[in-house]
């Protein structure tokens, strides 16, 4: 709102300057033509300048009053805009909290699933260790057994060879 007021003020100042130049030029023309005296010319210029000062003050007062009135009229709208902005901000915050709460809930559910899977994985790992131990024991037994059999076979072959040599 201040920009139009500034523009109007500058327009008034510009108009005053142009008017002053115009009046001075006209008075000089009349002086040169001999229609008026120098004193009359000064009086006309002074009268025009005083009138411009009065007009400028009136314009300034009118602009100030109009600006105050406009600001006064705009206050309720500004307050309402502030309330609306606060309401919108509150809604955005609520939605953000709801979204975050939903994401947290999903994350918690995923964490609990991961924990369950981790427990199952531990159980499976423990069973795998037990099975590995059993397999190792069985493998050892099987190796020992096969070694005993091989030793027995050798002993039997050795006995047979001895018996065959004796005969």
Domain residue ranges in the chain:
2-166
Q: Higher model confidence: residue 160 or residue 36?
A: 160
Q: At what angle do helices 2-33 and 38-166 cross, to 10 degrees?
A: 150
Mean pLDDT value across the chain: 80
- At 4, the pLDDT band (50, 70, 90 cuts) reads low
Question: Does pLDDT of 2 surpass 60?
Answer: no
The distance from CA 132 to its chain's CA centroid, rounded to whole angstroms, is 56
- Rounded Cα distance, 123 and 101, in Å: 33
Is there a contact between 48 and 16 (Cβ–Cβ < 8 Å)?
no
Summarised one tens digit per residue, pLDDT across range 116-125 is 888 888 888 8
Residue 39: pLDDT band (50, 70, 90) is confident
- Taking the C-alpha atoms of residue 33 and residue 20, their distance in angstroms, rounded to an integer, is 20
| Three-state secondary-structure class, residue 1 | coil
The percent of residues in the chain predicted with pLDDT above 70, rounded, is 87
57-114 pLDDT, tens digit each: 887 888 888 888 888 888 888 888 888 888 899 999 988 888 888 888 888 888 888 8
Which residues have C-beta within 8 Å of that of residue 85, sequence separation ≥ 6? Answer: none
pTM over 0.85: no
CA 167 to centroid of chain Cα atoms = 105
Confidence (pLDDT) at 76: 86
The pair of structure tokens assigned to 158 is: 């050795």
Query: How many Cβ atoms sit within 10 Å of the Cβ of residue 20?
Result: 14
Q: In this structure, what token pair is assigned to residue 96?
A: 């953000």
Instruction: Look at residue 160 in the predicted model and tell me its pLDDT.
Output: 83
Two tokens, residue 149:
């059999």
């Amino acid at each position: 709102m201040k920009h139009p007021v500034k523009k109007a003020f500058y327009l008034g100042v510009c108009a005053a300057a142009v008017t002053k130049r115009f009046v001075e030029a006209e008075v000089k023309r009349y002086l040169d033509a001999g229609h008026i005296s120098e004193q009359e010319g000064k009086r006309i210029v002074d009268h025009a300048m005083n009138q411009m000062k009065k007009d400028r003050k009136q314009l300034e007062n009118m602009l100030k009053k109009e600006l105050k009135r406009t600001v006064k009229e705009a206050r309720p709208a500004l307050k309402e805009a502030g309330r609306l902005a606060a309401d919108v901000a509150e809604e955005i915050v609520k939605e953000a909290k709801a979204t975050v709460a939903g994401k947290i809930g999903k994350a918690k559910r995923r964490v609990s699933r991961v924990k369950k899977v981790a427990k199952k994985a531990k159980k499976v790992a423990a069973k795998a260790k037990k099975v590995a131990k059993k397999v190792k024991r069985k493998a050892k037994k099987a190796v020992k057994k096969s070694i005993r059999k091989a030793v027995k076979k050798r002993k039997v072959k050795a006995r047979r060879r001895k018996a065959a040599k004796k005969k």
